[in-house]
């Protein structure tokens, strides 16, 4: 155990990310890191006059011990800790909001592989990210923490209140939908099983057991192969919709009634139209990876589309700044400030997607087919060293500017051409570069991909574009 006289801690630089702290358990993330986060974050809360911190954890095998050590660190900083136990990340956000805590920490590896884990934080009712995470690292290294009498910890089951609040915004009445859910062995399982029992209709839940080994498939609903089981079940049952969650249930994936996958920028159109009925003229935010179709459709529905940086903390902050009632990312983070609290919550988004589907009076597949056809790539990921990924994007941007290209640098580079657009940005959570391209024709898409490939090659990367076409 540490005390103030001896406490100081150096985090591996790769773990202090833009909007969370994340690493490989036993390699770049250890119990000592969890203690240091608690000790330092608790001190930051104390210096703002706070004393109460909520803590939750996902279902990973390493989460119980990391959470226990984190709580030790928080208590050493004098914090009164409310331990809500295992559940989805948004349930912790809910607890922090309704209990009006001064801070919150979720132990979660999100959608990363089973050997990863990490920490998502709130300071007050706001996301804790960017420079704040770097400050935490500096304070820990300097041993700059408060001297405090030991705090305390109590457990609190918030799940019943959370489920009741989710159900409060169900608008479907007794409308009996046939829904297949895939919890992906993630942290939503127990809450989801109780939620669907209270909803009308037929509900089938796949992989409900919380299992940090993720035996069925990787818990990332943006990757089509992870949705194969859900697609098969939707088709077999003739379901109205399929809904999937990531490992900590702050991201959602949707499959329509024919088993076709809807991407985040597609179902956000459905949600935007629904929200704009009651908030005409509102600003709707989407990240730089989203289709131009989304921004055009928001405008067509009377909204003000705003393109912003990828990252749940960045989007939440922009929503608060602009008063936006709805925002979303390609990755399936959906944020409602309309009737909800402004944080990303896949369980709540599921309720609102079902509401919007019922309100639209058409099937999800009919909605999907009504959208303007474009050709685009799925999210393309290229391995790139942590130490190199941001500099590659900077090199590409510099070359494009020198060529006089039309470039948005909101987040990475998004390049508009006569054919359409392409995007290259560095992932904030993995050692990869992320790319997308979208055009009105096969030939146009081929030209965009060729330009992207040549830019990557000029920075010493050899991208593989096999299987990189998708129409939607």
Positions marked catalytic:
110
**Which stretches does DSSP call E strand in 329-431?**
334-336, 375-376, 380-383, 406-408, 413-416, 420-426
In the 8-state DSSP scheme, what is residue 60? -
- Rounded-to-integer distance, Cα 388 and Cα 379, Å: 20
- Rounded-to-integer distance, Cα 47 and Cα 386, Å: 33
The H or E element spanning position 59 is none
- Rounded-to-integer distance, Cα 367 and Cα 226, Å: 23
- Contact in structure between 251 and 330 (CB atoms under 8 Å): no
The H or E element spanning position 254 is strand 252-255
Helix axis angle, 89-98 relative to 159-168, nearest 10°?
90
Residues 6+ apart with CB under 8 A from 264: 222, 290, 328, 329, 330, 331, 332, 333, 334
Q: Where are the alpha helices (DSSP H) in 89-145?
A: 89-98, 131-142
- Contact in structure between 151 and 78 (CB atoms under 8 Å): yes
- Rounded-to-integer distance, Cα 292 and Cα 434, Å: 17
**Count of CB atoms within 10 A of residue 156's CB?**
13
Q: Which residues of 296-334 are buried (b: 16+ CB within 10 A; e: fewer)?
A: ebbeebebebbbbbbbbbbbbbbbeebebbbbbbbbbbb
- Contact in structure between 186 and 210 (CB atoms under 8 Å): yes
Max CA separation in the chain (angstroms): 68
**Collapsed DSSP state (helix, strand, coil) of residue 168:** helix
In the 8-state DSSP scheme, what is residue 404? T
């Amino acid at each position: 155990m540490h005390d103030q006289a001896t406490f100081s801690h150096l985090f591996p630089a790769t773990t202090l990310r833009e909007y969370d702290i994340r690493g490989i358990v036993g390699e770049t993330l250890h119990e000592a890191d969890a203690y240091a986060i608690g000790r330092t974050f608790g001190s930051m809360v104390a210096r703002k006059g706070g004393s109460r911190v909520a803590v939750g954890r996902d279902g990973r095998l390493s989460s119980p011990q990391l959470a226990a050590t984190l709580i030790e660190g928080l208590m050493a900083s004098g914090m009164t800790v409310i331990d809500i136990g295992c559940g989805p990340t948004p349930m912790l956000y809910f607890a922090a909001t309704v209990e009006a805590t001064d801070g919150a920490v979720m132990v979660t590896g999100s959608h990363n592989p089973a050997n990863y884990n990490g920490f998502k934080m709130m300071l007050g009712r706001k996301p804790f990210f960017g420079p704040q995470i770097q400050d935490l690292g500096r304070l820990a290294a300097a041993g700059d923490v408060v001297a405090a009498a030991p705090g305390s910890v109590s457990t609190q089951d918030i799940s019943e209140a959370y489920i009741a609040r989710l159900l409060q915004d169900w608008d479907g009445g007794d409308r009996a939908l046939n829904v297949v859910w895939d919890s992906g062995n993630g942290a939503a399982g127990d809450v989801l099983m109780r939620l669907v029992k209270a909803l009308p209709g037929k509900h089938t839940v796949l992989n409900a057991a919380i299992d940090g080994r993720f035996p069925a498939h990787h818990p990332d609903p943006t990757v089509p192969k992870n949705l194969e089981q859900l697609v098969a079940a939707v088709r077999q049952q003739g379901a109205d919709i399929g809904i999937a969650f990531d490992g900590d249930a702050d991201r959602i994936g949707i499959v329509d009634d024919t088993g076709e996958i809807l991407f985040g920028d597609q179902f956000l159109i459905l949600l935007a139209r629904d929200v704009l009925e009651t908030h005409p003229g509102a600003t709707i935010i989407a990240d730089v990876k989203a289709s131009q179709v989304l921004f055009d459709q928001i405008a067509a529905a009377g909204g003000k589309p705003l393109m912003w940086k990828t990252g749940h903390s960045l989007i939440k902050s922009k929503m608060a700044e602009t008063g936006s009632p709805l925002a979303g990312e390609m990755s399936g983070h959906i944020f409602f400030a309309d009737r909800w609290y402004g944080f990303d919550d896949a369980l709540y988004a599921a309720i609102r997607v079902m509401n919007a589907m019922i309100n639209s009076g058409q099937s999800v597949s009919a909605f999907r087919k009504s959208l303007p056809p474009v050709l685009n790539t799925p999210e393309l990921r290229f391995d790139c060293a942590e130490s190199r990924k941001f500099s590659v994007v900077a090199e590409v941007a510099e070359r494009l500017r020198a060529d006089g290209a039309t470039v948005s640098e909101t987040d990475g580079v998004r390049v508009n051409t006569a054919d359409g657009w392409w995007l290259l940005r560095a992932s904030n959570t993995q050692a990869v570069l992320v790319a997308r391209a979208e055009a009105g024709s096969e030939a146009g898409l081929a030209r965009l991909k060729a330009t992207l490939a040549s830019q990557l090659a000029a920075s010493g990367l050899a991208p593989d574009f096999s299987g990189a076409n998708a129409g939607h």
